[in-house]
Amino acid sequence: MSVAHVDDEEAAEVGDVEKALPSGDFYTGQWCNGCPHGNGKYLWTDGCMYVGEWFKGKTTGKGKFCWPSGATYEGEFKHGFMDGKGTYTGFSGETYKGTWVMNLKQGEGTISFVNGDYYEGEWRRGFQEGYGRYHWKNGNQYIGQWKKGLINGNGTMIWSNGNRYDGFWEDGFPKGNGTYKWPDGSFFVGIWSKDGKDQNGTYYPSDSPTEKFDWDPQQVFLEDLKDCKICGGEKVSIWPSEKMPNWFAISKEKDGKQRRRSDGSLSGFSMSSDFNGGSVSFGSEGISRHGDGSVGRLHLEDSVARGSSLQLKKPPTRRQGQTISRGHKNFELMLNLQLGIRHSVGRPGPALSLDLKTSAFDPREKFWTRFPPEGSKHTPPHPSSEFKWKDYCPLVFRTLRKLFDIDAADYMLSICGDDALRELSSPGKSGSFFYLTNDDKYMIKTMKKAEVKVLIRMLPAYYNHVRSFKDTLVTKFFGLHCVKLTGSTQKKVRFVVMGNLFCTDTAIHRRFDLKGSFQGRTTAKPEAEIDSTTTLKDLDLNYIFRLQKLWFKEFCSQVDRDCDFLENERIMDYSLLIGLHFREVSTPHTSGVSSPTGNGDCENGEAPRLSEDSNDQLVINSTRQSPVSLGINMAARAEKTVRKNDCQVVGEPTGVMYDVILFFGIIDILQDYDISKKLEHAYKSMQYDPTSISAVDPKLYSKRFRDFIFKVFIEDT
């Protein structure tokens, strides 16, 4: 066998090869259609190595991955991920043997820690969750329920001295009903609490004679559990899936071979002037500069094609909305809003309990505060005109922020810090305006009085729903307020603070708003004006999304639960908002490539060409590990579809697949089926098919929504 560069003529050969890649990596093994396919060995320049089975350029099947640190994983792979049964041995000697799903421990598995502890049992998303047993080196052991890596639920702790606790736990500590037993047969039964306030119980001595009982249940928290710390384990430095080369891009380099222009620059490869000068280079390839020292635009497709690990300074991104600075018509309103939220969140309150009284949800539970310019006993002086501030059900929303793990200081800093809010360019269909915080964490929406009434009416059910289902897809609400301006207008502006679904460093290349209805459900923009900030609709959708088996089951269950909740609350007109990030985007050969509306030629397997706005949002190092949960940063596959006629609910699959990252959630959940919607239904039913319009009864809406969503999202087989 001869050693050849992958961009030489041998790139198209089939069989056993040895390949030296432009990056300096080396591959030896079976080869087909320009990428590894079969058994092969890949060596990275940083010392990582994989030996095993490949499928179309990705580690799939059985294999072994080795890190330079000495850590190894041996087992099953799928699409580049550690997926299936496998054993990970860390550089410290820590060993996990069990099942994996997309690099995360999931299912049954056993881990032996370097300190001598071990755990065997169930895992979920990389954490101990479900039923399991943890054995400490000192002889203590716990058998029972876990959640997110902590002892949580019903279980038994047995100490090496023979003492034991049987009962309920929360976040690693006894909480609720439980029994503490001694080897002599005596025991304590009661209610347990870490802070000791709610703790009470009864001691029952054994039949054998004992000394006078002198024992404080708080000793369990202060002493007994000191030697029962859960080992966190070592972190994986980089995942095998993050090391996968972009074979399609490498083959493109072979086809084009970087045809050089007469001025010495590279054909089809340039950099954006947004980098503001400085040294920019890609190995020995070189880049030409313009006479003014700037450099041209780097296309997203080209940058991803050369690998997303290029260590460049991230260019300034083109952000949505207009900054509300002095002189803006809503500048004073923004100041009032920030002052009010700082007052509401910063105000001292009682210790929070997740068990709220019915009175906290009372619609009359609202408080007005006057903000004079000179300040008052409870409010600071400010440069704005006098206004009044109203808080709706403040204790409920304060508890919701705790439930959603929102830190009060971070919340105030995001909304009320030195950075101004940004107003989105145009109001929504309802006439509401939207504002984004500078860090993109929160979205503020102005509301009609009717929407406020709906939210307050459904607040008890909403609270119970999001408390019961932490992975709910419905919008997360953090505060409901009103600003009343003084003067002749006496204008009231009501608004709600929500989580921003697309708060991520990952570029969102496509956005879809899906309802399951079809009348008028297409974007009004010409195709040439569609960019990454355009929200496309049902009839624009030209993909189906394939989720891994475990994710798919969880997705279906949660959509059913959320739709049941909305149906019971008589809510309709909601939608599933989807953000789509293409992990590998290629440069199309022709102008007839697939468009966002599904037109164009998709036979060549190209990903859609993205606009310059999408290019500006490129995050060069986009494969870094980020938190993953249902609807947030989920790896999936998108399959291209083609709608053959207007009657098709979902287009026909073409077999063209893209690796994508998905963000999605259910939005616009404050429209009930009121008299205006009933009239809209009656009027439009005379013009169109009643089943195709948005305004329908909540029960029919829920069924139609689910039917459509479960055709768009399918299990990846």
Q: Model pTM greater than 0.85?
A: no
Q: Is 3.40.50.300 the CATH number for 323-500?
A: no
| Lookup result for tokens 């943890």 | 134
Separation CA 438–CA 49 (nearest Å): 42
Separation CA 190–CA 217 (nearest Å): 10
Q: Please name the residues in contact with 687: beta carbons below 8 A apart, sequence gap of 6 or more.
A: none
Rounded to the nearest 10 degrees, the angle between the axes of helix 449-468 and helix 394-403 is 40
How many alpha carbons lie under 13 Å from residue 225 in its C-beta half-sphere?
19
Q: Please name the residues in contact with 683: beta carbons below 8 A apart, sequence gap of 6 or more.
A: none
Identify the three-state secondary structure at position 255: helix
Separation CA 366–CA 86 (nearest Å): 56
| Lookup result for tokens 């969750």 | 129
Question: Per residue in 300-323, pLDDT tens?
Answer: 333 333 333 333 344 445 567 778
> Which tokens hold the place of 416?
């009320």
Q: Please name the residues in contact with 195: beta carbons below 8 A apart, sequence gap of 6 or more.
A: none
* Gap between the terminal Cα atoms of the chain: 37
Residue type, 110: T
What is the DSSP pairing of strand 535-536 with strand 510-514?
parallel
Burial of 394 (0-12, 13-18, 19+ CB in 10 A): buried
**Backbone dihedral region for residue 174 (phi beyond 0: left; psi -120 to 50: alpha; all else: beta):** beta
Count of CB atoms situated within 10 Å of the CB of 569: 18
Count of CB atoms situated within 10 Å of the CB of 108: 15
Domain segments of the chain as ranges: 129-234, 323-500, 527-584+626-715
What is the pLDDT, as a whole number, of residue 527? 77
DSSP assigned state of 632: B
The residue ranges of the chain whose pLDDT is under 50 are: 1-12, 212, 257-316, 586-607, 609-625
Q: Please name the residues in contact with 335: beta carbons below 8 A apart, sequence gap of 6 or more.
A: 382, 383, 384
What is the pLDDT, as a whole number, of residue 594? 40
What is the pLDDT, as a whole number, of residue 578? 95
Class of 129-234 in CATH: mainly beta
Nearest to 662 by CA among 637, 697, 690, 683: 637
| Lookup result for tokens 């084009």 | 256
CATH fold, domain 527-584+626-715, is: 3.30.810
